Structure 1
Amino acid sequence: MPLILLSGYPSSGKTHRARQLLDFFDTKIASNSSSPSPDPRIARLKTHHISDQSLGIPRDVYRDSRTEKDARAAEYSAVKRVLGRDDIVVADGPNYIKGFRYQLFCEAKALGTPSCVVHIGTPVTTCREINSRLLASPETDGGYPDDIFENLVFRYEEPNGMTRWDSPLFTVLYNDDAPPLEAIWEAMVGKEGEVKVVKPNAATVLKPAAESNYLYELDKTTQNILTSVLEWQKDHPGEGGGEISVPDVRAQKIEMPASPLSLPQLQRLRRQFIALNRQHTLSQSRIRDLFVDYLNDNFG
């Protein structure tokens, strides 16, 4: 069943909102079971709460890029382990990197189950005050060390409801006494008598690679497109925006962002795309179409 990703600044109240969601969903499931004509689809649902605390991840892992990467991998594996058609997963982690949210979105879509993002819209000044209180209180598990807190705030990539992986997007303000719990339930589970169905697409359905040279074509095709982007930037120094035509891709062009892109940025996107599609069976033309679409999503 659904994947609900919480996202927000450190010490913004994500865990508090996660517990509200879990309590509300558990109540809805129990209420259905006690009704005269229970919906068997809802009766099968189970809720799961995945957080740094439940995974035993200390906050100081975010001081180092290697340990932070391991922490994200642990959350990703935990979500993937329990995510299914009869499971509601609340991922209560930092989830501040849009590429990581995209990965989890693809996992949900591959299973044909809906996902959403709940953005905890607490102002950074309030988060800083809360974090300071948590650090000073011996009765809590503590806040984030000041240097880690400021670094996470600086690197936070706010969810954008215009992108597929951050949609639908629900924003919950710090002082909101009535968060949209019912709306989230309806978006994820559906109204009474309605079944939420998500159709997997070619970019997310994993199939064994049938062609012996598939990985070579995946690597070569994506590298050629990156070369086109770099050559365009070289021919248009300092220019923001613009469109790049890719040979044999008629449906759309690469829409360049306002700021120039570095080679490491482009290579990172290419590696992410290859990791997501290395087990697929895609033709060369399909690789081109999907990679252009993937770049546009990340450039937007």
Structure 2
Amino acid sequence: MPLILISGYPSSGKTFRSLQLIDFFNRKITESDEPKVKRLKVHHIDDSSLGLSRDVYAASKPEKDARATFSSAIKRVLNRDAIVVADGMNYIKGFRYQLYCEAKAVETPNCVVHVGTPIDKCRELNDEVLKAGAGGYESEIFENLVFRYEEPNGMSRWDAPLFTVPCDDAKPPCEAIWEAMVGSDGRAKVVRPNAATVLKPASEQNYLYELDKTTSDVLAAIKTWQQDHPGEGGAEVKVSDAKQSIILPTTAPSLPQLQRLRRQFIGLNRQHSLSKSRIRDLFVDYLNDAFQS
């Protein structure tokens, strides 16, 4: 059953919203007469339960290790009889995409719940907790996380369906989330994995070389087009041997932006092999999704 990603700024109330959802889910399971619903078990995954300090966000290496720990904990319990509430900032778009792939690989739906507390309110709440000595993020870490936060976008496959919870709402749209993820009779839509999301060990000869070379070739096609059409955006760039074209955003992406997207794609697919013949098409698809969000 579903993976529910909680996302929001630091100190936005993500755990509070997670516990509201968990209470609602447990009540629905208890009250249901449907066998498929009765056997569901709710799992709450958060930094605290994994023993992760908020100081891990002060440097890239411990933060990367923390994300790996968080992801591994989700994968251990994610199955068709589980509702997994992943209570973290989940602020990196590529990380949400990775977890979306994990959900599809076990044929279970997923959604994102965006805790929409404004930055100033989050900063105020964080300062109060810090002063009380009850946790919170150090000021520098807080501001850095806010700066790097990549807000969920329901137009992206991995962020859909997207449920936003304004800070003034008494509770999340629990019933709507339940219907979308579980269904009234426990027969929610079955998710079928596809070539883009099935995770399997890298096995094809020279796979990493092809992953690196093919993604470089796609960026080269974009750079060549930009050199021929300086300053233009919102155009269609044809890529040799790709089934579809790249649709550039209105504001043309810079080289550092393109390289960052390429590194994200390679990082997501380094350990689980795509068919070499599919790398080009899937990278084009990944770029188009990123440009639309």
Unpaired runs of 5+ in structure 2?
Answer: none
1:31-180 aligned at under 5 Å gives the runs: 31-32=31-32, 38-138=33-133, 140=134, 142-180=135-173
Residue number among 260, 264, 283 corresponding to 1:268 in the alignment: 260
Alignment of 1:177-196 (within 5 A): 177-192=170-185, 194-196=187-189
- Contact kept, 8 Å, 1:226 with 1:266, in 2: the verdict is yes
1:21 paired with 2:16, answer no
2 CA distance for matches of 1:92 and 1:118?
A: 10
Q: How far does residue 8 in structure 1 lie from its aligned partner after superposition?
A: 0.8
Indicate the residue corresponding to 1:221 in structure 2: 214
Report the 3-state secondary structure (helix = DSSP H, G, I; strand = E; otherwise coil) of the residue aligned with 1:91. Answer: strand
Cα distance change, pair 68–122 in 1 and its aligned pair in 2 (3 A): same
| Equivalent-residue separation in structure 2 for 1:213 and 1:150 (angstroms) | 42
Q: Secondary structure at the match of 2:49?
A: coil
Contact 1:122–1:173, Cα closer than 8 Å, also in 2? yes
Q: Distance in 2 between matches of 1:193 and 1:122?
A: 31
Alpha-carbon contact 2:36-2:186 (below 8 Å) kept? no
Distance 1:276 1:17 in 2: 29
SS of residue matched to 1:186:
helix
Q: Which amino acid in structure 2 is aligned with residue 293 of structure 1?
A: D
Greater alpha carbon shift after TM alignment, 9-18 vs 186-195: 186-195
Shift of 1:281: 5.1
Q: Residue 238 and residue 134 in structure 1: after superposition, are their counterparts in 2 closer, same or farther (change >3 A)? A: same
What is the rounded CA distance, in whole Å, between the counterparts of 1:190 and 1:17 in structure 2? 21
Q: Distance in 1 between matches of 2:181 and 2:39?
A: 15
The DSSP-based 3-state class of the residue aligned with 1:90 is strand
Counterpart-to-counterpart distance in 1, 2:109 and 2:288? 22
Q: How far apart in 2 are the matches of 1:187 and 1:294?
A: 25
Where 2:6 maps in the other structure, the secondary structure is: strand
User: TM-score, structure 1 length as denominator?
Assistant: 0.90
Amino acid of the residue matched to residue 3 of structure 1?
L
Mapped partners of 1:143, 1:289: distance in 2 = 43
The CA deviation string for residues 186-229 of structure 1, in whole angstroms up to 9 with x for no partner, is 11111226333111111111345564344433332222112112
Q: 1:245 offset after TM fit, Å?
A: 0.2
- The alignment covers a number of residue pairs equal to 291
Q: Are the equivalent residues in 2 in contact too, given 1:203–1:277 (CA < 8 A)?
A: no
1:235 to 228, 240, 243: 228
Sequence identity, in percent?
Answer: 67
| Contact 2:204-2:273 within 8 A present in 1 as well | no
User: Could you say which residue in structure 2 is the equivalent of 1:35?
Assistant: none
Q: SS of 1:54's equivalent?
A: helix
Q: Which residue of 1 aligns with 2:240?
A: 247
Whether the 8 Å CA contact 1:210–1:281 is kept in 2: the answer is no
Q: Partner amino acid for 2:123?
A: R
Q: CA RMSD in A?
A: 1.9
The answer as to whether partners of 2:111 and 2:159 remain within 8 angstroms in 1 is: yes
